[in-house]
Amino acid sequence: MKKITILIISLTIIFLSSCATSRKQLTREEWLVMTSHTFKNTTVNDVLITAEKVLRLSDSDKDVKIYHLPNKMVGTRYYFIYAVLAAASGHYNFDVTAVQKGPDVEAQLLIGNTEQAIMPMMTQTPGVQGGWHGAGATVTTSPVAIGTPEDHPELYRLFFSRMESLFYKKDWLTCEKVREDIYEKGGSTSVYSALCLNADDNKPISSK
């Protein structure tokens, strides 16, 4: 029984960490291209409000928290994964900065992942809230701390595409659609985890 338990946890670790596979690091130029997008004939306020809408559509209010600064929006999407005898939790952070450039706005987006270690099945001690093994441990993090930056161009393209969909009434790309497309090309669907992992994946009412 002990060997089976260890095997299950090991397989879970492999599954949950599959996106951490070693990849070629992006150059500075590639980072700047990936994280930047220009929106025509709009304002900083409209860009940040639209970025917020993208996040709120991705998941329920209880899993998405939004924070605003004059030229910045910071959003956090929490997730929890449960597998047999193991669990993992964490949150994805979305940092959007907008700068007015004449009639247009240049947006800078950085997405990061703060992941908690995989732990054995949670046990609750009476009278202790949120306890792992009855320890009552809680986790607090700053919403501005980006965590480990996501370096998947496909993820950033999806976020900006959804913003453009709201701005210009373009087709809305669902998680199901982008996952199917990348799977057919032999890629990994995990690149979209920040927006799609355990997400509600709602569509705007007016989208196709």
The first and second tokens of residue 137, run together, are: 């441990």
pTM for this prediction: 0.77
Per-residue pLDDT of the chain (208 residues; tens, 9 = 90+): 444 333 333 444 434 444 445 678 999 999 999 999 999 999 999 999 999 999 999 999 899 999 999 999 999 999 888 766 667 788 999 999 999 999 999 999 999 999 875 555 444 444 444 333 333 333 333 445 889 999 999 999 999 999 999 999 999 999 999 999 999 999 999 999 999 999 999 999 876 5
